[in-house]
């Protein structure tokens, strides 16, 4: 998705921050439900999921701080991200470690692409505060994506699952940017 100046009353930088904040809430809920199921079925990768969730909580707080500096409110897709994230996390955890990692890889692949496009847009608008906020989380998200791929998310069997998750993630981001 290429970011451009908004024609609505809310500028694009604020939309980006709000959508990213909502996305972090979705990611937290993905990991919450994955941890819940994994504690019952496969405890061995709960520590990894907990570390990912802590990263996402830190990211969400960082976006919220910048939104508040701009007198903003939560994104209209906030609760959709939360519910969708919990559902995706639950289903992926039932599919085992490869399902969890496929979900992580799919979501974070979409997110990393958007973050890089957002950085280009924000740099072109000279919005250093928003740029620094987005930049501050990119490395963590790339690490989550790469870990998902390496730790079993690339299994051929999970290709359709990754595609569905990627499609949903992209759709929610586009909805939030409207």
115 and 144 in contact (C-beta within 8 Å)?
no
Instruction: Supply the pTM of this predicted model.
Output: 0.93
Determine the length of the chain: 178
Mean pLDDT score across all residues of the chain: 93
Chain centroid offset of residue 63 CA: 12
Contact (Cβ atoms closer than 8 angstroms) between residue 85 and residue 137: no
Instruction: State CA 30 to chain mean position distance.
Output: 9
The CA distances from residue 83 to 56, 79, 150, in Å, are: 16, 6, 27
Q: Which CATH class is domain 12-177?
A: mainly alpha
Q: What is the mean pLDDT of residues 24-32?
A: 98
- List alpha helices for the chain, DSSP H: 12-41, 46-69, 78-94, 97-124, 128-148, 159-177
| pLDDT value at residue 178 | 81
The model's pLDDT over 46-93, given as tens digits with 9 standing for 90+, comes to 999 999 999 999 999 999 999 999 988 899 889 999 999 999 999 999
Q: Are the C-beta atoms of residues 12 and 3 closer than 8 Å to each other?
A: yes
């Amino acid at each position: 998705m290429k970011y451009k100046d908004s024609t609505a009353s809310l500028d694009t930088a604020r939309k980006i921050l709000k959508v990213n904040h909502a996305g972090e809430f979705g990611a937290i809920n993905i990991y919450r439900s994955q941890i819940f199921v994994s504690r019952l079925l496969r405890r061995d990768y709960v520590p990894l999921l907990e570390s990912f969730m802590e990263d996402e909580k830190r990211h969400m707080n960082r976006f919220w701080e910048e939104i508040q500096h701009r007198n903003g409110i939560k994104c209209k897709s906030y609760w959709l991200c939360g519910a969708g994230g919990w559902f995706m996390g639950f289903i992926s955890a039932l599919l085992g470690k490869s399902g969890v990692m496929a979900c992580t890889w799919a979501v974070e692949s979409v997110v990393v692409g958007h973050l890089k496009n957002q950085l280009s847009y924000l740099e072109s608008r000279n919005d250093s505060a928003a740029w620094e906020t987005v930049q501050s989380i990119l490395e963590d998200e790339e690490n989550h994506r790469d870990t998902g791929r390496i730790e079993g998310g690339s299994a051929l069997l999970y290709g359709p699952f990754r595609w569905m998750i990627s499609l949903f993630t992209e759709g929610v981001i586009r909805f939030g940017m409207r």
